[in-house]
Every structure is written in C-alpha cells, then in structure tokens.
Amino acid sequence: MTGLVYKEWKQNYWFILSMLICGAFPLLFLLSEKNGISDPAHINDGRSLGLIIGFLLAGGIQTMVLKGDDRKLWGYWITSTSDGFKGFLRVKYEMIFGMVLLFLFSLQMFDELFCAIAADIGLTEVGDISNIGLPLIFFQLLLRAIDIPFTLRYGNKKGSLIKLIYSLVFAIILSAMVLTNFCNISVILFDAYEKLFTGDHLSLLFGVFAVSVLVIYYLSYRISCRVYLKGVEQYDH
C-alpha cells in the first residue's frame, strides 16, 4: 500500500499541493484588485467570487488525478499485484478525500489570515466565511463520489460525456416531475426548502446531508470496485 501512496504522490503532487492555492483564492482575488481590501463594500463580493472560482478550480483539479491511469496495461498489471485493483482504488479515493480536506484547510486558514489583516487595518465588521466552507466541502465530496465511478467505468473522455447525459436526463425528469406536480413532489420540495432555512432544522438537515455524503462516498468506492474491471476492458479503444 505504501508503494501505491508513493506512486500517487510522485504522479500527482502538483495537483495535491495546488489545493492550497485554490483555498487561497478568496484572499488572492482581493489582493489582485486595486482597493480590494481597503474598500469594505467590495470585500464580500470579492471573497465570494474568489471562493466560487477556487471551488470550481479545486473540483477540476481533483478529477485530473484520475487521468493517466485509464490504460488497459496498467489495469491488468495492478489487478495482478498483492494490493489488487481494490487497493489501488482505495488509495485513489483516500487521496481525493485528502485533497478535499486540504482545500478546506487552506480555505479556512487563508480566511483567518484575511480576517486578521482586515482587523489590523480597522475593518472589524468583516466576518469569516469558514461556515460556508463546510457545506461546500461536502458538496464537493458528493460531486467526486459521482464523478469517479463514471471515469473509471468509461475512461476519462467518455466518462465525462456519459455523466453529462445522465445529469441532463436526471434534471429533465426532476423538472418534469416538479412541473406536473407528480406525487405532490412540488409541495414536498417546497416544504423541505422552507424547513431548511428555519433555524431548528438547519443543523439537523445539514447533519443528515453531511453524513449521507460520507456514506455515499464510501458506496461510490464499492461501486467503482465493481465496475473497474469492466472499464479496463474498454480502455485504449
């Protein structure tokens, strides 16, 4: 297993370390703009925009670590080793989880630094955005839990296309259900939305969502284990 960790590190250390830069984006975005920090009205817009850019960029980089291993020869070889393809996939999942954590750590650390700088120049009313970081991280984990099995089953290019088709079909079906109020779904969704933003339910709903995401991430690993060898058959075509 240590060998696989070493291989992933040697192959992807730039991607892994770039998570730190992605987390610094809200701060870098403000620093890059003239009067970015000194103008209080501008601060939250700049930070939010930097956060969104950093989040999207981090997500893109996290999927890039799957590139390069979608080769038939590699798939057969790793299956024949003592760790097997399950060990290989486990290290991949752990690495991507680690990258997501690194992004969160960086985001929170640079946000604290920003708040400290802001306090030193007299902007005491600036609050931290770390609270947004946590839901974002779970959303990112959910996206990766969906991405990885598709990429492993169909390869990089085909996987992205098939994922897009599935997402579109899902969005169309959901929209149709909402528009036709199938099984009273519009009312159920509206109630859930209302509850989400009332204080009592916020932490419970978020807790359920966050723990579900962790379970989904694990299930994604199990699904990947099931579909990996089928995917290997189709690589290099």
Partner 1 sequence: MTTKKANAKRLAIYLLIVFAFSILLIILRKPISSSETFYFFIAELFCASPAVASLITRTVTKEGFRDMKLHLNLSRNFRWYLLAFALPLICFSASKLIPIIISGHSDWLSGFTFGNILAVILMLAAQSAVSSVSLLGEELGWRGYMNQKMEPLLGTVGTCLFGGVVWGLWHFPIDIANYLEGYGTLSNSLETAFGRLILLVCFGVFLMWLTKKTNSVFPAVVAHFMFNMSQTALMSLLSQGNIPENADLGMIASVFEYVTMILLAVGFMTLLLYERKKAPKTP
Least distance from C-beta 120 to partner 1, angstroms? 5
Give dist(CA 26, CA 125) in Å, integer.
Answer: 17
Q: Does 104 bind partner 1 (CB under 8 A)?
A: yes
Least distance from C-beta 104 to partner 1, angstroms? 6
Contacts (Cβ under 8 Å, ≥6 apart) of 50:
25, 26, 27, 28, 29, 30
Main-chain phi, psi angles of 99, to 5 degrees: -65, -40
Contacts (Cβ under 8 Å, ≥6 apart) of 232:
72, 75, 76, 79, 85
Least distance from C-beta 113 to partner 1, angstroms? 6
Q: Does 203 bind partner 1 (CB under 8 A)?
A: yes
Given candidates 28, 49, 83, 105, which one binds partner 1 under the rule CB under 8 A?
Answer: 105
Q: Does 120 bind partner 1 (CB under 8 A)?
A: yes
Q: Does 192 bind partner 1 (CB under 8 A)?
A: no
Nearer to partner 1, 78 or 104 (CB): 104
Q: Which stretch binds partner 1 (CB under 8 A): 37-45, 152-160, 182-190, 203-211?
A: 203-211
Least distance from C-beta 94 to partner 1, angstroms? 7
Q: Does 208 bind partner 1 (CB under 8 A)?
A: yes
Nearer to partner 1, 68 or 207 (CB): 207
CA 44-48-174 angle, to 5 degrees, is: 135
Alpha helices of the chain — where are they, by DSSP H? Answer: 2-23, 25-32, 40-64, 72-80, 84-120, 130-154, 156-180, 185-196, 199-234
Q: Which of residues 38-67 bind partner 1 (CB under 8 A)?
A: none
Amino acid at 79: T
Q: Does 112 bind partner 1 (CB under 8 A)?
A: yes
As to burial, measured by CB atoms within 10 angstroms (0-12 exposed, 13-18 middle, 19+ buried), residue 200 is: exposed
Q: Does 207 bind partner 1 (CB under 8 A)?
A: yes
The binding site for partner 1 (CB under 8 A) comprises 1-2, 94, 100-101, 104-105, 109, 112-113, 115-117, 119-120, 134, 137-138, 200, 203-204, 206-208, 210-211, 213-214
